[in-house]
A and B are shown apart, each in its own frame.
Chain A
Amino acid sequence: MSRVAVLKGGRSFERQVSLRSGARVEDALRRLGHEVIGIDVGADLVARLREAAPDVAFLALHGPDGEDGTVQELLEVMGIRYTGSRVSACVRTADKVLAKHELRDAGVPTPDWVAFTQTAFRELGAADALPAIEERLAFPIVVKPAGQGSALGVKLARSAGDVPGALVAAFSYDAKVLLERHIEGRDLAVSVLGGRALPVVEAIPNDHAEYDFEHRYEIGATEFRCPAELPDGAAERAQELALRAWEVLGLAGVARVDLMLDASTGELWVLEANTIPGMTETSLLPMAADAAGIGFDRLIGEVLDLA
């Protein structure tokens, strides 16, 4: 049995989700017989870790700081084992732009995109390139911050008039944003546990009347199917792509890869990966693990063993 520090909360916009994830992880670890110290991550993190002197840190942080390698770097320096991906993989994955470059270079299909910093618009006149970008990506275009983990700041621009406002919104969260070709189709997620792809989860917005981009991320507005009912071969292909992304990005422990199944062509596209998937009651990873016959406690136990 180990002494486990569960890192949760923090200053990110996903603080609430992280606290919920952390609480469930703590419960599971206790049931597994471990000694658990919950730490709400703040300015005293190093001091608290020194005091707690854990054998291993279980990361239940979401959003920047938790997923971008910062906390992992700190744990490396302190010589504390931790769950999930190593620093370099976190850096590559948390920045959606960097991740998409890695994926595209490795031949993993990811929707075409263009990324800019605020500086490019302020000092290099990037706004003049917008019409060319819009022509290349074709409307509707997804505009999102490069580093924000959740759906915050993600907008769907339906015409050129929507783009400046969507960019202003995305820049509220990050100094770098991307404009991405929108794939009309089905939302899929494949969780990978220690190099093994779990069953595909599909997120289906309940409100079919109007397609609202933000709506689907609101709890209660979305229904989940696991395993997803997909056309022949699509599930296997999605799992294969998720494993390719896992390798390309150098992920470890557990991760979730988000994909789109193109409604018109049947093609699969990798959107992004998450190095610390949610562990709440409605999160996709526990749902997928469950469908594979892995209960929550066993899931947490395996993630801990992979640290």
Chain B
Amino acid sequence: MGTQRDLERYAGLFSQRTRGMTSSAMRDLMAITERPDVISLAGGQPDTSSFPAELLAGLMSGVAAEASAKALQYSPTEGLWSVREAIVEVMAAEGTEVDASEVLVTTGGQQVIDLVCKTLIDPGDVVVAEAPTYPGAVPTFTAYEADVVQVAMDEHGMLVDELEATLDRLDAAGRTPKFIYTIPTFQNPGGVTMSLPRRRRLVQVAAERELLVLEDNPYGLLRYEGDPLPTLRSLDGGRFVIYLGTFSKILSPGVRTGWAVAPGPVYEKMNTGKQGVDLCSPAFSQFFIAAYFERADWREYVDALRDLYRHRRDVMMEALDESFGPEATWTHPEGGMFLWATLPDYIDTTDLLARALRANVAFVPGRAAYLDGRGGSEMRLNFSGSTDDQIREGVRRIGAVVQEQVALYGTLTGAKPAPRPKPKADETAARMADVLPLPARRRQAEGGTAQGS
């Protein structure tokens, strides 16, 4: 049982792509956030306790009575027709018209990211993503050995000018990205939403350059204020946009059911790719979803979630005002589940998490959302998965350790750090006064002031 020989024996069999799959100190820290005594604002969880248990029981006994054998059986790779029709209904609720035949049912939205990479990415190919981006997409990009280039955002979403400059720069280097990955609505982790002019421009840029866009839209129906915006898919009409949807946030992540709508040839490859991964998504989940859409009012539940999360968002915004001090800034999400906070650049949020865990509270350190070491002073906070009291107490505890570090830094430098300059309030949009540009952009303006990252 020679240890080193063991290690070498396995390591010699590992594929090249596993070299990018590394463990990290941050991952070990995040594991502790699951302790029961920790208030975790780190998760990305919807509140599934709000789904009526008796409804679940009723629907499942209906499935058992009427379709037991089928629910326990394999099903078509594309998904059950009734589920594909339900998806058409969900997308129509956001003003996006598609045909059920264009829908590919997947095992969670995450599988769409995987299938898109499988279909499009050769090692070294470029994927353009937002900065910060969805941390859960990073291991998928890494597994396919994609070269991820991140484009900054502000309160109106991805900076499309910067995107174009980036594409030009890549073009000059002889590199064409395969696709642009974006969460335009209530972005995870940024909590910001891409404006309508930028949506139009992004779709135009994709068409002009014949690039694909992967529009990841898990939260679109969870809008708490403001007017809904058209999806990229509806603006583009399905020429260059691959749409990713999921039941995770409007029904349950436990059913592990998402979907893709893609241009025909891309759809075909993804479908073939899916056969290799899991043949089909669980029929069990799909029969439940079909029954739910047939017999219950899914819109009513989404309305209830919206009310619940809107309230929790407000509780969190209020708690942040009270506890985070003038040195911190944060985004004001109009929907979704997350907001993004930025601390003074001398605070490293990975280390701060260690301190916060001693106070039994957790968040996601910003570095998780970047591939280039940026984000060291930023954090993601989730408001959908905790109760009002947990949110208030959790934010209070994080605020206390932030204040402790601000005071310590002041002692060390002999200077009271000046509050961050607040942006000029736009008279026509006073509500936006507390919305600040996201960090990546500011960092660029200030130059490389980040330390310890």
A contact residues vs B (CB 8 Å cutoff): 11, 13-17, 28, 31, 118, 121-122, 127, 130, 150-153, 155, 161-173, 214, 217-221, 226, 281-282, 286-287, 289-291, 295-297
Interchain residue pairs A-B with the least CB separation, the first 7: A286-B3, A164-B412, A220-B22, A172-B355, A169-B351, A165-B346, A172-B351
Chain B residue numbers with a CB within 8 Å of A296 are 1-3, 6
Stretch at the interface among B25-33, B78-86, B208-216: B25-33
Is B428 positioned at the interface, with any CB of A under 8 Å from its CB?
A: no
Chain A residue numbers with a CB within 8 Å of B22 are 218-221
Known: A15-B28, A168-B409, A214-B25. A162 touches B452 (CB 8 A): yes
Chain A residue numbers with a CB within 8 Å of B29 are 13, 152
CB<8 Å pairs between A and B, sample of 12 = A13-B357, A121-B411, A152-B29, A161-B451, A164-B346, A165-B346, A167-B408, A168-B346, A173-B354, A219-B24, A226-B4, A281-B7
Bound Cα distance A163, B4 (Å): 39
Task: Say yes or no: B452 contacts A287, CB within 8 Å.
Answer: no
Main secondary structure of the interface of B (DSSP, over half): helix
9 further A-B pairs in the complex, CB-CB below 8 A; given A13-B32, A121-B411, A168-B347: A13-B29, A151-B25, A152-B29, A161-B451, A164-B409, A168-B405, A172-B352, A218-B25, A295-B3
**Closest B residue, CB atoms, query A163:** B412
Known: A162-B451, A220-B19. A121 touches B408 (CB 8 A): yes
**Closest B residue, CB atoms, query A279:** B3
Known: A164-B413, A217-B25. A152 touches B354 (CB 8 A): yes
Bound Cα distance A167, B410 (Å): 12
B273 to chain A minimum Cβ distance, whole angstroms, is 27
Chain A residue numbers with a CB within 8 Å of B411 are 121-122, 127
Is B424 positioned at the interface, with any CB of A under 8 Å from its CB?
A: no
A264 to chain B minimum Cβ distance, whole angstroms, is 26
Is B348 positioned at the interface, with any CB of A under 8 Å from its CB?
A: yes
Bound Cα distance A289, B1 (Å): 11
**Closest B residue, CB atoms, query A158:** B451
**Closest B residue, CB atoms, query A128:** B414
Partner of B23 from the list A166, A173, A219 (CB cut-off 8 Å) is A219
Chain A residue numbers with a CB within 8 Å of B413 are 127, 164
Chain B residue numbers with a CB within 8 Å of A122 are 408, 411
Known: A127-B414, A169-B452. A281 touches B408 (CB 8 A): no
Partner of A167 from the list B3, B23, B412 (CB cut-off 8 Å) is B412
Q: How would residues 410 to 453 of chain B score, 1 for a CB under 8 Å from any chain A CB and 0 otherwise? A: 01111000000000000000000000000000000000000110
Main secondary structure of the interface of A (DSSP, over half): helix
**Closest B residue, CB atoms, query A220:** B22
Interface residues of B in 1-50 (CB under 8 A from A): 1-7, 19, 21-25, 27-29, 31-32, 35
Chain B residue numbers with a CB within 8 Å of A220 are 19, 21-23
A64 to chain B minimum Cβ distance, whole angstroms, is 10
Bound Cα distance A241, B334 (Å): 61
B106 to chain A minimum Cβ distance, whole angstroms, is 30
**Closest A residue, CB atoms, query B35:** A11
Task: Say yes or no: B348 contacts A165, CB within 8 Å.
Answer: yes
Bound Cα distance A290, B29 (Å): 30
Most buried by A among B29, B354, B413: B354
Task: Say yes or no: A15 contacts B31, CB within 8 Å.
Answer: yes
Task: Say yes or no: B412 contacts A173, CB within 8 Å.
Answer: no
B227 to chain A minimum Cβ distance, whole angstroms, is 42
Task: Say yes or no: B3 contacts A289, CB within 8 Å.
Answer: yes
Task: Say yes or no: B412 contacts A150, CB within 8 Å.
Answer: no
Task: Say yes or no: B7 contacts A282, CB within 8 Å.
Answer: yes
A303 to chain B minimum Cβ distance, whole angstroms, is 14
Chain B residue numbers with a CB within 8 Å of A289 are 3
Bound Cα distance A226, B21 (Å): 24
Known: A122-B408, A218-B22. A13 touches B28 (CB 8 A): yes
